[in-house]
Amino acid sequence: MATKVAGVVNVAYLFALSQFLVAWVIAALYVRAASRFDAMAHRIVENFKARSR
Amino acid sequence: MSPALAMFLGFIAITLWITWWAARRNTGSSAYFAAGRSLAAWQNGVAVAGDYMSAASFLGIAGIIAFQGYDGFMYSVGWLVAYLTVLLIVAEPLRNAGKYTMADVLAYRLSPRPVRAMGALSTLTVSTFYMIAQMVGAGALVSLLLKDTGIGFETAVIGIGVLMIVYVVFGGMLATTWVQIVKAILLMAGTILLSVLVLAHFGFDLGAFFDAIGAVTYTNAQGVSVTQDFMTPGLRYTPPYGALDLISLGMALIFGTAGLPHILVRFYTVPDARTARKSVVWAMLIIGTFYILTTFLGFGAATIVGRDFIAANGGTNMSAPLLAQALAGDLFFAFISSIAFATILAVVAGLTISASTSFAHDFWTNVLHHGRERRAGEEVRVARITAFFVGAISIGIAIALGPNANVAFLVALAFAVAASANLPVIVLSLFWKRFTTAGAVCGLATGLVSSLVLILLSPSILRADAVFPLENPGIVSIPLGFLGAFVGTWLTREPAAERKFAELSVRANTGLGAERATTH
């Protein structure tokens, strides 16, 4: 972990920083998937309303 | 009048005006407890970030990095990752299934009175511990920052307590939210400005900045001047238990953030689950940026101000304000100090409203009076009175403990309880059909008690005689909390709760039947 990459910057610091990036990327992927779930939920509700009419 | 005092008073004036404005719009329970559920995604997102970035983060983490380098930065990492739990698992179903509190979700299909009573107890425990930690820290800090004006610890604690009571009693959730928003914007502005000034100090040459971090000179415990590479891991978390303690802290953050009552109640202030999701994304952008920038605050203080000077001028918590003074003089010192003050004030207000909402809604209305208000507006009135008492009690305890009390463990305790008691039962009630009331009560109780006992046996309290070697109990207490919930469930059956699971699933996933916004 203490291996230097550039100057004093070591693997440990880059690893710590990478967690911020990973968190943001996972969040972005989820938000994309969730807009698909929103559409599915919307369809289910519409179907239900149409049938109970 | 000193510039610091003038800026403090300026912030107080703005927040009191917000409270007055919000008080005129507060009509009805949903307006008072949930800001009418009509906040925009960015507003709630900024407020979530404001609720979360406490003075412990702004001053504390900058201080740990300034003193212990890389290991201090490791402390920054878990705070953003924790929001993935909030985003992926909790925020949307909570918004759809609940009304004002965490226990609403549990009471949806479980027997309401026992789970609400335990939920309220857990909420009040987390909020009170967290608040006392903030108040003691705040009192010591404000008297240090304002030492030229003669404002002492007690005056500072009483002042902060009275202001937070005023925001919550008169302004409710709407005022608390806008205080958070103003504070979050100030905090980000201060942090970004400070980071830019640190870079400017090194001629905007990142290489020069990191070279300086590679050779930080300070006086060690033996009084010898040493030069140390501050990027090296292992300056704080040392064997034999250091690494385990760090993992335990990470677990408490990742499981605990999504169980903090003052963060959870924020998701009731938006119109629907989609807005709740978007507000988490806003919060993650702000929180991530802030914690990355602690690199500049902490290492900046280590390289530009130096450990020895900070230790001689107020200690670790003064790292960020002293850095501001070194870079841009007294006026900037005053600005950063007043931001720290605003930070504390906003966080304690958020804690107070979540505690009083839980007491009024869960305990008073639903446990004592079977879910019915005897008079219109009773719930809000009870919450206001509770807020007053919560504030008064916190002032009393903070003054009794005094400015030199070591209260950092109270924050660890609050996160441990949130992670070990609250999160397991929230997740299981949302996703496990077989889950029962006994399981919820047993899980909450096991998580609460095991966190408390392990902290009492830890080095934070017993010092060298510690029975339990870690300062963060999460690694043991979180599995125990889940285990308690499982055992309680396996020993009982609750067909009524199982039948309602389908209804809860539909509501949590589609928003059908969820509480709607009341004002526009």
| Selected residue with higher pLDDT from A3 and B472 | B472
Contacts of A38 in chain B (CB under 8 A): 274
Nearest to A16 among B73, B277, B288 (CB): B73
pLDDT of residue B1: 66
Q: Taking CB atoms and an 8 Å limit, are B291 and A20 in contact across chains?
A: yes
Using CA atoms, how far residue B450 sits from B210, B427, B439, B456, in Å, is 43, 19, 16, 10
CB of A2 less than 8 A from some CB of B = yes
Q: Taking CB atoms and an 8 Å limit, are B284 and A41 in contact across chains?
A: no
**Mean pLDDT in residue range B412-436:** 93
Residue B185 has pLDDT above 60, yes or no: yes
Nearest to B210 among A7, A16, A45 (CB): A7
CB of A24 less than 8 A from some CB of B = yes
CA dist B420 and B464 (Å) reads: 26
Domain ranges, residue B215: 3-510
Asked if residue B518 is part of any domain, the answer here is: no
Mean pLDDT of all residues belonging to chain B: 89
Nearest to B231 among A9, A20, A34 (CB): A9
Residue B234 has pLDDT above 50, yes or no: yes
CB of A44 less than 8 A from some CB of B = yes
CA dist A41 and A29 (Å) reads: 19
Comparing CA positions, the residue from B357, B349, B358 lying closest to residue B394 is B349
CB of A49 less than 8 A from some CB of B = no
pLDDT classification of B467: cutoffs 50, 70, 90: confident
**What residues pair up with B217 in beta bridges, in sequence order?**
B227
Asked if residue B519 is part of any domain, the answer here is: no
pLDDT of residue B221: 80
Structural domains counted in chain B: 1
Asked if residue B473 is part of any domain, the answer here is: yes
pLDDT of residue B297: 92
Contacts of B81 in chain A (CB under 8 A): 19, 22-23
Residue B146 has pLDDT above 80, yes or no: no
Residue B145 has pLDDT above 80, yes or no: no
Print burial letters for B193-227: b (CB count within 10 Å at least 16), e (below 16).
Answer: bbbebbbebbeeeeeebbebbbebebeeeeeeeee
**B142-150 contacts: CB < 8 A, separation 24 or more?**
B142/B341, B142/B344, B143/B403, B144/B314, B144/B317, B144/B318, B145/B4, B145/B321, B145/B337, B145/B340, B145/B341, B146/B2, B146/B4, B146/B5, B146/B8, B146/B337, B148/B2, B148/B4, B149/B1, B149/B2, B149/B4, B149/B5
Comparing CA positions, the residue from B495, B398, B376, B421 lying closest to residue B109 is B495
pLDDT of residue B315: 80
Q: What is the DSSP string of B372-399?
A: --SSTTHHHHHHHHHHHHHHHHHHHHHH
CB of B247 less than 8 A from some CB of A = no
Kindly provide the ipTM of the predicted complex, given to two decimals: 0.92
Residue B520 has pLDDT above 60, yes or no: no
Mean pLDDT of all residues belonging to chain A: 89
Asked if residue B517 is part of any domain, the answer here is: no
Nearest to A31 among B213, B277, B512 (CB): B277
**Mean pLDDT in residue range B131-153:** 78
- What phi-psi label fits residue B111: left (phi over 0), alpha (psi between -120 and 50 degrees) or beta? beta
Record the tokens describing residue B394, joined without a space: 């916190």
**CATH code, domain with B187:** 1.20.1730.10
Asked if residue B297 is part of any domain, the answer here is: yes
pLDDT of A3-51, one tens digit each?
Answer: 888 778 888 889 989 999 999 999 999 999 999 999 998 898 888 888 8
Asked if residue B306 is part of any domain, the answer here is: yes
pLDDT of residue B519: 57
Angstroms from B512 CA to nearest CA on chain A: 7
